[in-house]
Amino acid sequence: MIRLRLFQALAAFLPGVVVSAVVPAQPVDMPVSFADVLSAGAAPHSAQYTYGPAASQYVRFWRAPPASEPAPLVVLVHGGCWLEAYDVAHIAPLASALAAEGFAVWAPEYRRVGEAGGGWPGSGEDLLAALRALQTQAPTGADLQQVLLVGHSAGGQLALWAAAALQRAPLNGLRMRGVLGLAAITDLDAYALGSNSCQRATAPFLGGLPQEVPAQYAAASPHRLALPPAAMLLHGDADPIVPLAQMHAIPQAAARIIAGAGHFDLVHPGTAAFPAVVQALHTLLEQP
């Protein structure tokens, strides 16, 4: 309680931003389920911003107690098979844990399959719009010269795609330092041919199967794009939702396999995978 009151007092020095209290993650065994992620502890987001008129065009921001310098900014893109049923709320435990590690976190919501304008290219366009919003709605305490794109699962596809887009057309005032895919979907052509529920969501996301809309797959699939040199992938070897082969589809990216990790361990701050996520972020920041 004393520490929480101290954090609230420090928040007075950050106008317009509520400082998130640190919620320590309880250690859990791998693999974890989606329900485990939903029940993990999380600090409330510090602020919320809108970047468009649709209900899903907003961003949640986390910032831990203020330090002497602005924090590197993690743009954290949630997964959920690109479906409306899964929203940004489930990424809150990871977002608040990264804030406690010294990062600022910008977590966009975006239109998804089942919403007007969701799917391809709308979901990708929303992510770029959320990034452009940083130019006009820059949150206090975030260092826009140290921006890291991070995405999980379907959000990994979007984050890697956005990193390629920003490499082609950088945004003024933002310096992207790298991109990190967590159990990322990288080869949409191969993924669409699978039979699990997330794989079956690929065709609705892109508007058809690979042979029906090949141009959509070519435009959206990270393994076909020119990614920035500072690209990393983390993947569990016990992932039943995104096969490990998806990590190998981008051989030029630095990659690490997390032994014993399932699909959701990479977004649960209480697992043994979380330190690897934090280490990967610091490694990207150390790149020249």
Contact (Cβ atoms closer than 8 angstroms) between residue 69 and residue 143: yes
pLDDT at 69: 82
> pLDDT for 241-271, tens place per residue?
999 999 999 999 999 999 999 999 999 999 9
pLDDT at 64: 79
pLDDT at 24: 59
Alpha-carbon span 211 to 69, nearest angstrom? 50
Contact (Cβ atoms closer than 8 angstroms) between residue 186 and residue 221: yes
pLDDT at 26: 80
Does pTM surpass 0.85?
A: yes
Q: Which residues in the chain land under pLDDT 70?
A: 1-25, 66-68
Contact (Cβ atoms closer than 8 angstroms) between residue 216 and residue 227: no
> pLDDT for 10-57, tens place per residue?
233 233 333 444 455 689 999 999 999 999 989 999 999 999 999 999
Contact (Cβ atoms closer than 8 angstroms) between residue 90 and residue 78: yes
Closest among 146, 181, 145 to 162, alpha carbons compared: 181
CATH number listed for the domain at residues 29-82+101-111+144-285: 3.40.50.1820
pLDDT at 138: 86
pLDDT at 95: 98
